[in-house]
């Protein structure tokens, strides 16, 4: 009996296995063909599928802090003011106009008339008042964007179209409130503000969120009530790819239409694909090497283990002179980056600063050597310079172990500094370890970098005295541990300066001061590398309009203006956010030959597997009958 | 090979001395008790392990976005991270005893709910892959042992060993590149698949192909090698000579006599490894963005979501322990020699 049973079991397992292998291959090959064919369908129903490689933490507008989450929420909820497509300056959005009191403490926003939520209810000043008040009252509601309201006194809707906000101190970011405004009639009924929201979510942006499957996808639908006019596509899906190479394969085979965060290698590979258009865009990130000028807490107690020799500004400036941004741009980013200038990346043209010739340090190892000789750092017998106490200058360079930039740039930096007589050891650590070590001042040199925002306040604040940690190593996000009176003075001046041109001037002065102090060396701004299927999409509005990005914009222009193939030129939006249809109509004939390849291969693959399994079963059957005959 | 066989040998060695009546109960209690002690250790370890990781959780969460020191302190209090470590541990154990794994820092939902959402994709993937791997491994192992030294034996054992030593992510990436476009490269279902059951099921099956092949390729070798070696041990046994002397065909001797006896260590191995396979799916899930427990753990580790990390750690380690105990108990049922040695 046992034997008979086991034979049946064996047959069962075989059948089960064959079924499992066959079904997935065979059925999609026949009934629901291949991704490339799906792309053609997508074109008809006007669906844009965006591949994202960063996780979405939550789509609760009060909670979400990840880049993709913010991206989606920016597309779902409009703001009082929004950053323009052209040059990322604040322009009117839900608020039509505004004025400030003379002491800059009272802001009055006038709401646009006739605005509607996606469910048809009117949008009034009561909605932003509710949203902001909620953040003032409830600490959970402050999770994502609490910093904007930290210095607010009160917020009030005096009537349906007027919103009055009073702040405790003048706040320069009042036209850049990156806070999604939620509908009061929905959210006033929510008891737990931190809980996962209900879908579909009532919104005011060009799309509304209809479904969210964490770690899989988020779906959005065009909002017919959107006040700037409905978008050209019907559906917008964000699909999560943990693995960037898988996202690239998905783009090539038409499973997604748009991806970003490509590496130079991936980008170059996609360039030669006839179905794909690439976008090499200016990004908002700067990369830097920190030089520890003597780390201290915010009450000036020295911390950490930085080499005391680096307190000498001459030594720091010599190090800065010995780092060649051009080589790093070419070798580390394959040319997809911009050479170093000031602290604020060039994409923010209003604030970016380029060192004038009399201040500019050009890469020159001889000059760096001369500077060190002059400053009295003598070379020892082994060619390593000695500090003033006669100890050899050994420095550690902290690097992020999983970061390609650090990994590739490290050896160059070590090599250059060796040329000027500094013995540098590269120390790769995990990201968290690097963060902890730099926060505690346990470094000599370290790789770092930040994403700047249209409003430069945050990245500027990183270099202030107040941003150093307290004695417990908490309460601050120190970067280079600079604590410079002149810089701090300029910082508080720019914070209270409401004249754009004057503020930009102050910001540039701050960058010059940073450059001179050389507590960090900016060595390049890497570009954002994006790609989309040009057989399915005409293109997308970029932000800024010249050389900007499609995804991760400061606003929603890229997704809002997505233009399917054959639907005319890609729109641009003027300084009032009005759609103007300029731009060339790229009427290239889409190359369709590639799209059927997948289908054919799929069918062939399915048939082969079927034949194989069939053959196996047949062979088994024959053997079994032979056995039974025996 | 010896490391694979150790669990079985241990199981054999630990088999209790022959006693009557209460023996079975004591055996079960001992095994279950041992499992519970391991689980308690896992709980402690899970708490400590993620707290010795460098970096401050709050600092990590706020990195790169504007935050006031007050906001950071506020969040620290909100998450209970301002309490002494010992107090945090007591809170954690107390909640755990009430079946509460805490709330995820990042997703802001109960950890148990999150794990529940992510458990079934992992079970599906691991279940299918293990079934295929076991069937394939047993079949190949039996054949290669029976024809020891033949070309089939050399090739199949060689291939199995090669695949076993292949890094999972590399194999996955290779498959992704080689099958470019034939199969979905990520996820469980397409976002635009119709919601009806049939379309969803077909789409899930389609998405499963690559991860399943990868997982099978990497794990089937151990079943094949154990099956092969345990069958080889039986090959010289007298009862096989007897069976042959009865005039049974070689095929039947193998299937009816040798294999059932050689199957025991393999069955134990299947259960012992089931727990590990769930944890081992982390890499496959990461390569193919499979929304399971492995991916959850990986993401939680990157963003330092302590409660989620503790939760997945306890669940994954718990699975290994549970399977171990089950294997011990099952072995006693399956193998008469353990019962009355």
DSSP states of A548-579 = -BSSS-SSSHHHHT-EETTS-SPPEE-TT--E
Q: Parallel, antiparallel, or unpaired for β A47-52 and A235-240?
A: parallel
| Contact residues, chain B, for A265 at CB < 8 Å | none
Q: Going by C-beta distance under 8 Å and a sequence separation of 6 or more, which residues neighbour residue B167?
A: none
CA distance B68 to chain A (A): 6
CA distance A31 to chain B (A): 10
| Contact residues, chain B, for A38 at CB < 8 Å | 190, 192
Give the model's pLDDT for residue A55.
82
On whether any CB of chain B is under 8 Å from the CB of A135, the answer is no
Which of the pair, B52 or B229, is modelled with greater confidence? B229
CA distances from A411 to A527, A583, B148 (A): 22, 44, 52
From CA A343, how far away is CA A353, in angstroms rounded? 7
Answer whether B209's CB lies under 8 Å from B124's CB: no
Helix axes B151-164, B197-235, angle to 10 degrees: 120
CA distances from A519 to A483, A491, A509 (A): 10, 17, 16
Q: Which two tokens stand for residue B111?
A: 């950890």
User: Which residue, A1, A189, A182, A219, is CA-closest to A79?
Assistant: A182
Cα B105 to chain centroid, rounded: 26
CA distance B69 to chain A (A): 4
Query: Whose structure tokens read 């079963």?
Result: A617
| Contact residues, chain A, for B128 at CB < 8 Å | 20
Q: What is the mean pLDDT of residues B217-245?
A: 89
Question: Which of A30, A173, A213, A249 to substitute to test the interface with B, most B CBs within 10 Å?
Answer: A249
Answer whether B304's CB lies under 8 Å from B60's CB: yes
Give the model's pLDDT for residue A18.
45
Q: In DSSP terms, which residues pair with B206 in a beta bridge?
A: none
CA-angle at A147, arms to A142 and A150, nearest 5°? 85
On whether any CB of chain B is under 8 Å from the CB of A195, the answer is yes
Residue B170 has pLDDT above 60, yes or no: yes
Window from A534-538, B175-179, B225-229, B276-280 with minimum mean pLDDT: B276-280
Q: Which two tokens stand for residue B284?
A: 């496959």
| Contact residues, chain B, for A12 at CB < 8 Å | none
Rg of chain B over all Cα atoms, to the nearest angstrom: 24
Low-confidence ranges of chain A (pLDDT < 50): 1-43, 583-600, 602, 624-630
From CA A493, how far away is CA B68, in angstroms rounded? 19
Question: SS3 for B9?
Answer: helix
Query: Whose structure tokens read 């050899």?
Result: A392
For residue A275, the 8-state DSSP code is T
Smallest CA–CA distance from B199 into chain A, residue: A32
From CA A561, how far away is CA A232, in angstroms rounded? 7
Cα dihedral: A460, A462, A463, A465 (round 10): 120
Q: What is the mean pLDDT of residues B124-129?
A: 92
CA distances from A162 to A77, A95, A97 (A): 19, 9, 10
Answer whether B189's CB lies under 8 Å from B207's CB: yes
Smallest CA–CA distance from A218 into chain B, residue: B191
From CA B117, how far away is CA A393, in angstroms rounded? 55
From CA A434, how far away is CA A385, in angstroms rounded? 27
Cβ contact B107–A57 (<8 Å): yes
From CA B7, how far away is CA B327, in angstroms rounded? 10
Cβ contact B185–A627 (<8 Å): no
Label residue A625 exposed, middle or buried (CB < 10 Å: 0-12, 13-18, 19+).
exposed
Q: What is the pLDDT confidence band of residue B62, given thresholds at 50, 70 and 90?
A: confident
From CA A447, how far away is CA A521, in angstroms rounded? 10
Give the model's pLDDT for residue A630.
38
Residue B133 has pLDDT above 70, yes or no: yes
State the complex-level ipTM.
Answer: 0.83
Closest CB to A196: pick one of B63, B71, B109.
B109
| Contact residues, chain A, for B304 at CB < 8 Å | 432
Cβ contact A17–B59 (<8 Å): no
Give the model's pLDDT for residue A617.
58
Sequential DSSP letters for B118-129: HHHHHHHHHHHH
CA distance B310 to chain A (A): 18
Give the model's pLDDT for residue B21.
54
Q: What is the mean pLDDT of residues B312-329?
A: 86
Label residue A599 exposed, middle or buried (CB < 10 Å: 0-12, 13-18, 19+).
middle
From CA A613, how far away is CA A209, in angstroms rounded? 44
CA distance A259 to chain B (A): 14
Range list of β-strands (E), A388-519: 394-400, 423-429, 445-451
Q: Which two tokens stand for residue B299?
A: 């993401």
Cβ contact B69–A475 (<8 Å): yes
Closest CB to A47: pick one of B68, B192, B285.
B192
CA distance A117 to chain B (A): 25
Give the model's pLDDT for residue A614.
61
| Contact residues, chain A, for B124 at CB < 8 Å | none
Cβ contact A28–B202 (<8 Å): yes
Handedness of CA B227, B229, B235, B238 (dihedral sign): negative
Cβ contact A150–B71 (<8 Å): yes
In B18-77, the residues whose Cβ lies within 8 Å of chain A are 53-56, 58-75
Q: Which two tokens stand for residue A297?
A: 């807490």
Percent of chain B at pLDDT exceeding 90 = 28
In A468-507, the residues whose Cβ lies within 8 Å of chain B are 470, 473-477
Closest CB to B108: pick one of A55, A63, A435.
A63
Answer whether A98's CB lies under 8 Å from A107's CB: yes
User: Which residue, A466, A467, A428, is CA-closest to A450?
Assistant: A467
Closest CB to B187: pick one of A139, A140, A240.
A240
Give the model's pLDDT for residue A377.
94
What number of residues does chain B have?
A: 341
From CA A377, how far away is CA A391, in angstroms rounded? 10
On whether any CB of chain B is under 8 Å from the CB of A49, the answer is yes
On whether any CB of chain B is under 8 Å from the CB of A32, the answer is yes
Q: What is the mean pLDDT of residues B261-266?
A: 82
pLDDT 10s digits, B180-213: 778 998 889 888 888 888 999 999 999 999 999 9
From CA B62, how far away is CA B59, in angstroms rounded? 5
Q: How many CB atoms lie within 10 A of CB A595?
A: 20
On whether any CB of chain B is under 8 Å from the CB of A528, the answer is no
CA distances from A405 to A289, B64, B298 (A): 12, 18, 22
């Amino acid at each position: 009996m046992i034997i008979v049973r086991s034979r049946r079991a064996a047959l069962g397992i075989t059948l089960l296995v064959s079924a499992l292998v066959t079904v997935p291959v065979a059925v999609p090959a026949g009934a629901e063909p291949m991704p490339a064919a799906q792309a053609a369908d997508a074109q008809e129903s006007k669906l844009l599928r965006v591949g994202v490689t960063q996780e979405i933490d939550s789509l609760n507008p009060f909670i979400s802090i990840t880049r993709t989450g913010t991206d989606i929420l920016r597309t779902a909820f409009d703001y009082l003011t929004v950053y323009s497509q052209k040059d990322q300056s604040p322009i009117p959005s839900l608020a039509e106009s505004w004025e400030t009191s003379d002491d800059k403490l009272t802001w009055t926003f006038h709401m646009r008339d006739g605005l509607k939520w996606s469910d048809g209810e009117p949008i009034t000043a009561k909605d932003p008042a509710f949203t902001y008040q909620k953040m003032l009252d409830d600490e959970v509601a402050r999770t994502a964007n609490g910093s904007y309201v930290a210095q607010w006194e009160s917020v009030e809707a005096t009537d349906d179209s007027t919103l009055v906000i009073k702040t405790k101190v003048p706040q320069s970011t009042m036209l850049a409130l990156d806070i999604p405004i939620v509908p009061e009639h929905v959210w006033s009924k929510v008891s737990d503000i931190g809980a996962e929201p209900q879908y579909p979510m009532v919104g005011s942006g060009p799309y509304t969120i209809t479904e969210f499957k964490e770690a899989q996808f988020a779906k959005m639908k065009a909002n017919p009530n959107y006040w700037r006019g409905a978008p050209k596509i019907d559906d917008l899906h964000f699909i999560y790819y943990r693995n960037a190479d898988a996202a690239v394969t998905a783009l090539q085979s038409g499973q997604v239409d748009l991806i970003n965060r490509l590496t130079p290698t991936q980008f170059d590979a996609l360039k030669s694909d006839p179905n794909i258009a690439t976008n090499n865009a200016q990004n908002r990130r700067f990369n830097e090497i920190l030089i520890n000028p003597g780390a201290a807490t915010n009450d000036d107690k020295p911390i950490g283990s930085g080499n005391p020799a680096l307190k000498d500004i001459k030594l720091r400036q010599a190090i800065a002179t010995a780092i060649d941004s051009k080589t790093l741009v070419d070798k580390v980013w394959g040319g997809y980056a911009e050479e170093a200038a000031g602290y604020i990346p060039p994409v923010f043209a209003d604030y970016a600063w380029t060192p004038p010739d009399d201040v500019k340090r050009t890469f020159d190892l001889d000059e760096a050597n001369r500077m060190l000789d002059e400053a009295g750092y003598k070379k020892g017998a082994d060619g390593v310079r000695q500090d003033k106490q006669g100890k050899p200058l050994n420095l550690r360079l902290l690097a992020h172990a999983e970061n390609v930039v650090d990994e590739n740039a490290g050896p160059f930096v070590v090599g250059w500094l060796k040329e000027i007589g500094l013995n540098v050891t590269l120390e790769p650590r995990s990201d968290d370890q690097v963060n902890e070590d730099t926060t505690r001042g346990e470094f000599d040199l370290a790789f770092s970098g930040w994403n700047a925002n249209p409003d430069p306040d945050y990245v500027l604040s990183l270099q202030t005295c107040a941003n150093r940690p307290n004695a417990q190593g908490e309460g601050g996000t120190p970067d280079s541990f600079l604590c410079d009176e002149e810089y701090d003075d300029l910082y508080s001046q720019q914070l209270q300066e409401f004249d754009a041109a004057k503020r930009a001037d102050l910001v540039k002065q701050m960058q010059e001061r940073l450059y001179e102090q050389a507590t960090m060396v900016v060595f390049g701004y890497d570009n954002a590398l994006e790609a989309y299927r040009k057989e399915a999409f005409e293109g997308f509005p970029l932000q800024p309009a010249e050389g900007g990005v499609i995804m991760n914009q400061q606003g929603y222009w890229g997704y809002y203006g997505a233009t399917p193939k054959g639907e005319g030129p890609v729109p641009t939006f003027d300084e009032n956010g009005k759609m103007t249809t300029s731009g060339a109509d790229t009427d290239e004939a889409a190359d369709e030959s590639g799209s059927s390849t997948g289908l054919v291969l799929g069918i062939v693959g399915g048939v082969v597997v079927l034949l194989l399994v069939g053959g196996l079963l047949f062979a088994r059957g024959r053997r079994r009958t032979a056995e039974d005959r025996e | 090979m010896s490391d694979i066989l150790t669990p079985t040998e241990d199981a054999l060695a630990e088999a209790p001395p022959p006693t009557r009546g209460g023996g079975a109960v004591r055996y079960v209690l001992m095994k279950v008790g041992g499992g519970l002690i391991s689980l308690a250790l896992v709980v402690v370890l899970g708490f400590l392990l993620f707290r010795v990781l460098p970096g401050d959780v709050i600092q990590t969460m706020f990195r790169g976005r504007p935050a006031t020191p007050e906001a950071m302190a506020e969040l620290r209090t909100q998450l209970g991270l301002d309490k002494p470590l010992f107090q945090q541990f007591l809170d954690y154990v107390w909640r755990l005893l009430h079946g509460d794994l805490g709330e995820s820092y990042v997703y802001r939902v109960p950890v148990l709910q999150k794990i529940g959402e992510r458990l079934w994709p992992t079970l599906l993937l691991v279940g299918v892959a293990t079934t295929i791997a076991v069937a394939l491994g047993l079949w190949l192992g039996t054949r290669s042992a029976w024809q020891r030294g033949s070309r089939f034996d050399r090739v199949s054992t060689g291939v199995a060993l090669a695949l076993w030593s292949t890094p999972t992510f590399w194999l996955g990436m290779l498959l992704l590149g080689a099958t470019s476009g034939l199969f979905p490269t990520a996820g469980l279902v397409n976002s635009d698949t119709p919601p009806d059951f049939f379309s969803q099921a077909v789409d899930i099956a389609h998405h499963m192909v690559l991860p399943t092949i990868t997982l099978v390729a990497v794990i089937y070798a151990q079943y094949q090698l154990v099956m092969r070696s345990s069958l080889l041990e039986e090959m010289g046994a007298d009862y096989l000579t007897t069976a042959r002397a009865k005039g049974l065909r070689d095929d039947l001797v193998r299937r009816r006599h040798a294999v059932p006896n050689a199957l025991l260590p393999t069955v134990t191995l299947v259960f012992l490894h089931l727990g590990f396979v769930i944890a081992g799916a982390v890499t496959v899930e990461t390569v193919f963005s499979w929304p399971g427990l492995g991916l959850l753990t990986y993401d939680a580790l990157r963003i330092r979501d302590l409660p989620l990390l503790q939760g997945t750690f306890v669940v994954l380690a718990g699975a290994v322990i549970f399977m171990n105990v089950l294997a011990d108990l099952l072995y006693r049922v399956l193998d008469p020699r353990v019962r009355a040695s």
